């Protein structure tokens, strides 16, 4: 097996320059959505009538700021593109000083555009999607809160600042998954997502602790200057802790189980948080911490392996589910697996991880919103077995969805083709086995996405009685069209390796490595593998009718996929069940032993005094006997002392 | 400011208020006596704020007063505030009017009516200020024991069905700790009488004395046991859930947010500063005990089906963090612990008060009796969630900074300690969010239908708390700037310093 | 003259009194037994006064007599009152002051 990447392509985060004229838009980018959230959540019913408009407006303004910032740094030299802004000292004790600061560099720049751009489109879409929900204003408040927190995450200049955004998006995700709280399943899914993310936070907490213990600081700029002095073991430990954090947030194995349940939330939430932005925060964290990962090939290998495992698991689950949102969720897991794999490949992969992240943001948001549009037209049914032949009923949704479909399977020319192809190429160059897994995953992607398309838009109609599918209103279809266009054209970012060059101040420049086969041949192979997947799906699902109820006699693979590869069953059996039993035992221990010890002492004294007081029997004569006995004892004692 | 005895005035105002309330004519309407009470607490708050503004960060003890009290013992009536003391005095004066406002009607049907309820609260406020301001061990001890009296009557007179039993349990536990401490207090007299300066109880004098290994360790134990019961730590915590379950929410707030802080305050002020050698000697055991408290309290909270009990157990867990931060003895841990005391006071107060509103509306404290409250009372649910999130140390809310500091301090002390303590952050999410899920979400339960949302008095009572939690979450500097110097003082007294990071500038250049 | 016979007599009287107090139930008899014990100790005091050749013991005996006289007054009054209300002079009947 070849070494994943040679050591020493380390690029420190240059101490960022002062923001200057960029300070205002930089602050506004976060402040606007935060302000929107505050107004909408504190304003109560007063804001019901115009709340959704304010929500869209703040994000749109934030997008404008992002564009201004982006254009500003585009006009600068590559070495001058990191901009820092220290707002105030958050806290400082002893030698540890944490600044509440922002760091704007090419990596944050792309994220800013993705978050505010796609986020803005999803806000607009939600106006239509949530139109009949009486708590729509609050929904927009939460969405704005999410956008602010996510921007904080990608703009923070310190690990503690990342933590702030990290938990902020977790909170928004919690609130939005459980938005329809009256559904017990939604409330449970929200809690589950938060708790599993907290497991990941163990990694971030301890990671911050270890980074501080090692370097005496937690700011990106300072840490990156010092990493060359640390021992390999410590770096591996930091890397693995950050990986744990990433696994929680990005639903990577073994902390993946929350993502499928998270589909209980309204569909725009799934599109924004659980597809385009928040779940990719783990990838961001790893790429941002490249100055740590570059010194530990072990941790990088672990990252790549976790990514590969998850990309296969996600694809597997996607093949078996009948719920359209869960198929897409499985596919999200799988695609993030690709990104994590790429991030684990080191300098050669970072840029492509981010590239795929952006492209995935476009096409997956597109498809989730498309799925939302389908549900909107079918009375919120999510079972694909109740769809069929929808392409005539909702042509715009069908067309835009098709763009997303072609992008995700990697149809030549669409954006997913460019990004996924690059990841497979780099993986094959560095580690043949991981590369082959990624290639196989691409084929499976072709299979399950084709299955989804065929079951939803083609074949005969299997609609429920009384359901009359119709096209969604303009306010929903226009965002779909924009996203579809981006799915088609996003690949342009790779023109002339633009994105690789643009990101190189952050990710470093990879030495050129020859892939095992010429790149063109690899692309052809990848397309062929996908074509095989598509063909199989077509054979299975197009040539015979899809039953309206899910068949029960299915292979073990399908059963496993339907049960999400037993992730929940495993957690229940290993953690939840024993935990509950342990808790019952502990309650008994607390009541019986700890409290019982104290109360037992008390009751022992009570019992003893109950015995002793019987001596007080009221008979004068027995008291007199006591007196006499006592006097005799004293006398005896005196005698003994005197004689002795 | 001139040299007026400001601290004495500060602690006498509420006590005076308490006396005035007691002697108000019996026919005084209860709303008038409530207004009088809150007036006194507001005056105290204003004076407290004035003192805080006049306080000079890093200036050591300030507003000092020193009068010889009992010459024979070397006892002084000595008051003074350092950073930690100031923080806790501020916590006391901030929380008291809030508690009064939030429990406006809670005392009406108790043993001595609303007048008695508010009089006891004022007495407690005055005595608590005395505890945090005392710079003489003997005076501290007197205040320490005196605070038990108002709490006893607040619990026994105004609580739930098992209130008398709970009050006695609380009193016995506290008295036991107090007695053990008394032995050490007497020991201090004996030991200090041997020095050439004669007997003294002044902390400033005592901290210069080297008590020797054996004696120092025994006296340390006496203090530590009392403070561990007060804090409370595992395994002497069981009085807290029982008391919280039976006390009114307002009493619980004063008990957990203010009085229990005496335990951790005492650990820093007396255990660490008077017995540095013994503290270092005890560190491994105390750290293990603290971690045990964190996990144990959290596990018990998960298993609780009663809201106040759950919050009480969560406090056991949080106090574990505070004690952990104190005994890792580095500046991150100690600053974190000091900050944690203040922040935990705010967040637990919010949680107790909001859940108190909830319980009062439903007439039951059992989690199983609720369901779907969010649907009928969204403001109540929202405030409850924010309070809960502050308890689980969500970044952006004030407890986060303190918990992170403690965690990092623990990591610097021992990565293993941090690795176990960090499990607490998962468990806290489970019990808080599970409680929220069971109470607030799902279909609306029978007894919950028609529940009123909060009125403006109730919102106005907790709003300042939540605002403080939010502001201090992003800008804890006002607190840290007074706490850090007092932490430096403690560290120099204990004789420890921060370990240097493994990689420094010089090494990285290689 | 040897003091021994007086001391022995005093001891015998005291023992008779003590046994009487412990065994008899009639309050009057118990009371008289108490008097017997007091007088036994008076005898011992006077004897030792004689042996030591000073008056300390006799003075103490006077005190005892005075106390005994006062005690008789109060004691008989109590016994009378109890007898009037309860129609019994048995000490065992007056056992209300117990656990």
The secondary structure of B368-393 as a DSSP string is GG---HHHH-HHHHHHHHHHHHHHTT
| Cβ atoms A419, A356 nearer than 8 A | yes
Average pLDDT over residues B117-143: 94
Cβ neighbour number for residue A5 with a 10 Å cutoff: 24
- B286 inside domain: yes
- Do strands A17-18 and A83-93 pair parallel, antiparallel, or not at all (unpaired)? parallel
| Helix H or strand E segment including C74 | helix C56-86
Task: Residue B87: name the closest of B329, B321, B345 by CA.
Answer: B345
- Number of domains within chain B: 1
| Alpha carbon separation from A17 to A64, A227, B171, C3 (Å, rounded) | 22, 21, 61, 116
Cα R_g (chain B), whole angstroms: 22
| A584 and A443 share one domain | no
Which H, E and C letters describe B305-353, residue by residue? CEHHHHHHHHHHHHHHHHHHHHHCCCHHHHHHHHHHHHHHHHHHHHHHH
| Helix H or strand E segment including B68 | strand B62-70
**CA angle B462-B18-B62, nearest 5°?**
75
Average pLDDT over residues A253-264: 88
Structure tokens, B214: 């054996």
CA gap A537, A542 in Å, rounded: 8
The yes-or-no verdict on residue A221 having pLDDT over 90 is no
| Residue range of the domain that includes B307 | 275-493
| Cβ atoms C99, A614 nearer than 8 A | yes
The yes-or-no verdict on residue A6 having pLDDT over 50 is no
The yes-or-no verdict on residue A222 having pLDDT over 90 is no
- Number of domains within chain A: 2
Residue labelled with tokens 């932490």: B487
| A353 and A437 share one domain | yes
**Higher per-residue pLDDT: A232 or B58:** A232
| A594 and A554 share one domain | no
- List all residues of chain C from 43 to 62 with a beta carbon under 8 Å from chain A: none
| Alpha carbon separation from B282 to B217, B329, B418, C6 (Å, rounded) | 9, 12, 18, 70
Cα R_g (chain C), whole angstroms: 16
The pLDDT assigned to A4 comes to: 35
Q: Does A248 touch chain B (CB under 8 A)?
A: no
| Nearest residue in chain A measured CA to CA from B502 | A214
Phi, psi of A496 (to 5 degrees): 65, 25
A44: confidence class by pLDDT, cuts 50, 70, 90:
confident
C14: confidence class by pLDDT, cuts 50, 70, 90:
very high
| Alpha carbon separation from B424 to A109, A211, B314, B414 (Å, rounded) | 36, 20, 10, 16
| A594 and A511 share one domain | no
| A545 and A625 share one domain | no
| A501 and A637 share one domain | no
Average pLDDT over residues B343-372: 91
The pLDDT assigned to A518 comes to: 82
Structure tokens, A123: 């806000």
| Residue range of the domain that includes A329 | 3-562
Q: If DSSP codes are grouped into helix, strand and coil, which group holds residue B449?
A: coil
CA gap B239, A205 in Å, rounded: 32
A12: confidence class by pLDDT, cuts 50, 70, 90:
low
The pLDDT assigned to B508 comes to: 52
Question: Where on the phi/psi map is residue A301: left (φ > 0), alpha (ψ -120 to 50), or beta?
Answer: alpha
| Cβ atoms B202, B285 nearer than 8 A | no
| Nearest residue in chain A measured CA to CA from B381 | A181
- B420 inside domain: yes
- B425 inside domain: yes
Count of positions (residues) in chain C: 99
A3: confidence class by pLDDT, cuts 50, 70, 90:
very low
C-alpha count within 13 angstroms, C-beta hemisphere, residue C13: 18
- B382 inside domain: yes
> Of the residues A562, A589, A621, which one is the last residue of a structural domain?
A562
C-alpha count within 13 angstroms, C-beta hemisphere, residue A9: 22
Inter-chain residue contact C22 with A619, CB threshold 8 Å: no
Of A147-156, A223-232, B154-163, B365-374, which gets the smallest average pLDDT?
A223-232
If you average pLDDT over every residue of chain A, what do you get? 87
Q: Give the whole-number percent of chain B exceeding pLDDT 90.
A: 62
- Give yes or no for a cis peptide into B235 (omega within 30° of 0): yes
Residue B444 DSSP code: P
| A542 and A614 share one domain | no
| A435 and A577 share one domain | no
Of A465-469, B313-317, C41-45, which gets the smallest average pLDDT?
A465-469
- B95 inside domain: no
| Nearest residue in chain B measured CA to CA from A228 | B508
Residue B268 DSSP code: I
| Nearest residue in chain A measured CA to CA from B233 | A594
The pLDDT assigned to A10 comes to: 53
- B147 inside domain: no
A572: confidence class by pLDDT, cuts 50, 70, 90:
confident
A11: confidence class by pLDDT, cuts 50, 70, 90:
low
Which H, E and C letters describe A5-40, residue by residue? CCCCCCCCCCCCEECHHHHHHHHHHHHHHHHHHHHH
| A417 and A474 share one domain | yes
ipTM of the complex: 0.91
- B361 inside domain: yes
CA gap C93, B41 in Å, rounded: 61
**CA angle A275-A103-B390, nearest 5°?**
65
Average pLDDT over residues A79-87: 84
The pLDDT assigned to B47 comes to: 94
- Do strands B62-70 and A96-104 pair parallel, antiparallel, or not at all (unpaired)? unpaired
The pLDDT assigned to A174 comes to: 93
- B57 inside domain: no
Q: Does C84 touch chain A (CB under 8 A)?
A: no
| Cβ atoms B95, B254 nearer than 8 A | yes
Contacts of B348 (CB under 8 A, 6+ apart): B253, B256, B257, B311, B314, B315, B318, B391
Q: Does B302 touch chain A (CB under 8 A)?
A: yes
| Cβ atoms B287, B417 nearer than 8 A | yes
Q: Does A185 touch chain B (CB under 8 A)?
A: no
The per-residue pLDDT for range A337-366, each reduced to its tens digit, is 999 999 998 888 888 999 999 999 999 999
| Alpha carbon separation from B205 to A188, B51, B186, B213, B390 (Å, rounded) | 58, 25, 16, 19, 40
The pLDDT assigned to A134 comes to: 84
> Of the residues A562, A583, A605, which one is the last residue of a structural domain?
A562
| Residue ranges of chain A whose CB lies within 8 Å of a chain C CB | 613-614, 616-621, 624-625, 628
Report DSSP letters for A80-118, one per residue: G--EEEEEEEEEEETTEEEEEEEEE-HHHHHHHHHHHHH
The yes-or-no verdict on residue B468 having pLDDT over 90 is yes
Average pLDDT over residues A270-282: 89
A13: confidence class by pLDDT, cuts 50, 70, 90:
low
Average pLDDT over residues A448-472: 84
Average pLDDT over residues B181-206: 88
CA gap B234, B242 in Å, rounded: 15
* Touch of C by A (3+ CB pairs closer than 8 Å): yes
| A485 and A591 share one domain | no
> Of the residues A535, A562, A589, which one is the last residue of a structural domain?
A562
The pLDDT assigned to A2 comes to: 31
CA gap B333, B264 in Å, rounded: 13
| A348 and A262 share one domain | yes
The per-residue pLDDT for range A589-598, each reduced to its tens digit, is 888 888 888 8
The yes-or-no verdict on residue B282 having pLDDT over 60 is yes
Beta strands in B128-193 (DSSP E): none
| Helix H or strand E segment including B64 | strand B62-70
- Sheet (strand A17-18) strand order: A17-18, A83-93, A96-104
Question: Chains A, C: CB contacts under 8 A, how many?
Answer: 31
- Which range among A185-194, A219-228, B101-110 has the greatest average pLDDT? A185-194
If you average pLDDT over every residue of chain B, what do you get? 90
Subunit partners of chain A (3 or more CB pairs within 8 A): B, C
Distance to chain C for A638, nearest Cα, Å: 19
Identify all chain C residues contacting A619, using CB atoms and an 8 Å cutoff.
91-92, 95
CA A212 to chain centre: 25
């Amino acid at each position: 097996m070849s070494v994943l990447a040679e050591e020493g392509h380390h690029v420190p985060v240059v101490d960022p320059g002062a923001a200057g004229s960029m300070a205002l838009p930089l602050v506004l980018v976060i402040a606007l959505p935060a302000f929107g959230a505050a107004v909408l959540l504190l304003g109560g019913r007063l804001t019901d009538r115009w709340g959704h408009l304010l929500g869209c407006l703040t994000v749109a303004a934030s997008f404008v700021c992002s564009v201004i910032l982006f254009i500003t740094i585009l006009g600068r030299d590559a070495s001058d593109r990191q901009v820092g802004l220290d707002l105030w000292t958050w806290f400082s004790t002893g030698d540890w000083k944490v600044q509440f600061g922002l760091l704007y560099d090419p990596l944050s720049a792309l994220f800013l555009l993705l978050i505010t751009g796609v986020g803005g489109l999803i806000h607009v879409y939600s106006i239509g999607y949530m139109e009949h929900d009486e708590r729509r204003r609050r929904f927009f408040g939460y969405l704005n809160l999410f956008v602010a927190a996510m921007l904080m995450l990608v703009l923070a200049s310190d690990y503690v600042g990342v933590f702030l955004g990290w938990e902020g998006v977790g909170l928004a995700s919690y609130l939005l998954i459980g938005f329809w709280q009256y559904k017990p399943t939604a409330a449970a899914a929200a809690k589950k997502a938060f708790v599993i993310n907290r497991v990941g936070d163990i990694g971030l907490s301890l990671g911050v602790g270890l980074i501080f213990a090692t370097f005496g600081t937690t700011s990106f700029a300072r840490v990156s200057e010092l990493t060359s002095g640390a021992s390999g073991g410590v770096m591996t430990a930091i890397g693995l802790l950050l990986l744990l954090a990433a696994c929680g947030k990005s639903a990577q194995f073994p902390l993946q189980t929350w993502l499928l349940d998270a589909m209980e939330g309204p569909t725009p939430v799934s599109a924004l948080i659980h597809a385009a932005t928040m779940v990719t925060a783990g990838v961001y964290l790893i790429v941002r911490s490249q100055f740590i990962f570059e010194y530990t090939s072990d941790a990088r290998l672990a990252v790549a392996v976790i990514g590969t495992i998850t990309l296969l698991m996600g694809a597997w689950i996607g093949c078996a589910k009948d719920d359209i949102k869960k198929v897409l969720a499985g596919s999200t897991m799988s695609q993030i697996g690709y990104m994590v794999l790429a991030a684990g490949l080191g300098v050669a992969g970072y840029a492509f991880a981010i590239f795929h992240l952006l492209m995935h943001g476009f096409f997956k948001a597109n498809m989730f919103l498309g799925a939302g549009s389908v549900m909107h037209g079918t009375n919120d049914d999510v079972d694909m077995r109740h769809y069929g032949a929808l392409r005539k009923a909702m042509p715009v949704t069908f067309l835009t969805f098709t763009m997303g479909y072609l992008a995700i399977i990697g149809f030549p020319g669409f954006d997913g083709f460019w990004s996924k192809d690059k990841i497979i190429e780099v993986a094959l160059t560095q580690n043949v086995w991981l590369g082959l897994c990624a290639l196989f995953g691409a084929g499976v992607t072709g299979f399950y996405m084709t299955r989804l398309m065929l079951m939803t838009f083609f074949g005969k109609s299997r609609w429920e009685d009384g359901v009359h599918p119709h096209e969604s209103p303009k306010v929903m279809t226009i965002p779909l069209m924009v996203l579809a266009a981006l799915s088609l054209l996003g690949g342009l970012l790779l023109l002339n390796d633009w994105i690789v060059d643009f990101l190189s101040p952050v990710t470093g420049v990879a030495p050129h490595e020859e892939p095992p086969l010429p790149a063109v041949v690899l692309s052809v192979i990848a397309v062929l593998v996908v074509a095989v997947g598509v063909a199989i799906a077509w054979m299975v699902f197009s040539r015979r009718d899809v039953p309206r109820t899910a068949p029960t006699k299915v292979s073990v693979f399908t059963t496993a996929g339907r049960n999400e590869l037993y992730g929940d069953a495993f957690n229940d059996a290993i953690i939840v069940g024993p935990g509950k039993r342990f808790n019952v035992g502990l309650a008994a221990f607390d009541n019986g032993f700890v409290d019982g010890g104290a109360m037992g002492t008390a009751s022992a004294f009570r019992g003893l005094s109950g015995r002793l007081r019987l001596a007080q029997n009221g008979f004068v004569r027995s008291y007199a006997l006591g007196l006499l006995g006592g006097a005799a004892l004293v006398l005896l004692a005196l005698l003994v002392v005197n004689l002795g | 400011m001139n040299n007026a005895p400001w601290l004495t005035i500060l602690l006498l105002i509420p006590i005076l208020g308490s006396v005035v309330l007691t002697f108000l004519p019996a026919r005084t309407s209860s709303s008038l006596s409530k207004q009088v009470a809150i007036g006194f607490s507001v005056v105290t708050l204003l004076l407290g704020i004035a003192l805080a503004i006049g306080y000079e960060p890093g200036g050591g003890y300030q507003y000092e007063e020193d009068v010889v009290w009992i010459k024979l013992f070397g006892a002084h009536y000595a008051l003074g505030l350092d950073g930690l003391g100031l923080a806790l005095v501020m916590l006391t004066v901030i929380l008291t009017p809030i508690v009064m406002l939030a429990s406006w009607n809670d005392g009406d049907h108790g043993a001595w009516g609303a007048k008695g309820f508010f009089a006891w609260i004022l007495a407690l406020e005055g005595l608590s200020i005395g505890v945090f301001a005392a710079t003489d061990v003997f005076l501290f001890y007197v205040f320490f024991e005196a605070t038990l009296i108002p709490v006893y009557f607040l619990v026994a007179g105004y609580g739930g069905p098992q209130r008398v039993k709970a009050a006695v349990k609380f009193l016995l536990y506290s008295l036991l700790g107090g007695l053990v401490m008394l032995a050490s207090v007497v020991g201090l007299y004996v030991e200090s009488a041997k020095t050439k300066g004669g007997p003294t109880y002044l902390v400033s004098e005592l901290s210069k004395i080297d008590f020797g290994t054996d004696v120092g360790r025994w006296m340390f134990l006496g203090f530590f046991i009392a403070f561990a019961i007060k804090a409370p730590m595992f395994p002497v915590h069981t009085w807290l859930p029982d008391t919280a379950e039976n006390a009114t929410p307002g009493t619980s707030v004063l008990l957990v947010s203010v009085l229990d802080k005496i335990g951790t305050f005492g650990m820093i002020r007396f255990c660490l500063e008077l017995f540095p050698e013994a503290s270092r000697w005890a560190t491994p055991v105390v750290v293990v005990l603290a971690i045990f408290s964190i996990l144990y309290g959290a596990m018990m909270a998960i298993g609780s089906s009663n809201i106040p009990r759950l919050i009480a157990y969560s406090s056991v867990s949080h106090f574990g963090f505070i004690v952990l931060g104190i005994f890792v003895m580095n500046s991150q841990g100690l600053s974190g612990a000091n900050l944690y005391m203040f922040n935990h006071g705010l967040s637990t107060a919010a949680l107790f008060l909001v859940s108190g509103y909830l319980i009062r509306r439903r007439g039951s404290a059992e989690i199983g009796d609720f369901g779907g409250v969010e649907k009928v009372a969204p403001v109540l649910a929202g405030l409850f969630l924010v309070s809960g999130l502050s308890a689980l140390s969500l970044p952006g809310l004030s407890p986060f900074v303190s918990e992170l500091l403690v965690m990092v301090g623990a990591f610097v002390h021992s990565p293993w300690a941090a690795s176990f303590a960090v499990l607490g952050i998962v468990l806290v999410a489970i019990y808080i969010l599970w409680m929220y899920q069971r109470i607030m979400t799902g279909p609306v339960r029978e007894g919950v239908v028609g529940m009123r949302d909060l009125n403006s008095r109730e919102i106005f009572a907790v709003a300042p708390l939540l605002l403080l939690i939010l502001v201090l979450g992003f800008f804890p500097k006002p607190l840290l700037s007074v706490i850090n110097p007092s932490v430096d003082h403690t560290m120099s007294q204990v004789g420890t310093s921060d370990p240097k990071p493994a990689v420094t500038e010089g090494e990285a250049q290689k | 003259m040897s003091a021994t016979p007086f001391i022995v007599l005093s001891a015998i009287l005291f023992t008779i009194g003590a046994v009487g107090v412990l065994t008899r139930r009639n309050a009057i008899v118990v009371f008289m037994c108490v008097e017997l014990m007091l007088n036994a100790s008076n005898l011992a005091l006077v004897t030792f006064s004689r042996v030591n050749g000073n008056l300390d013991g006799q003075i103490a005996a006077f005190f005892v007599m005075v106390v005994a006289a006062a005690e008789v007054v109060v004691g008989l009054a109590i016994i009378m009152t109890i007898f009037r209300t309860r129609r019994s002079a048995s000490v065992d009947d007056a056992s209300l002051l117990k656990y």
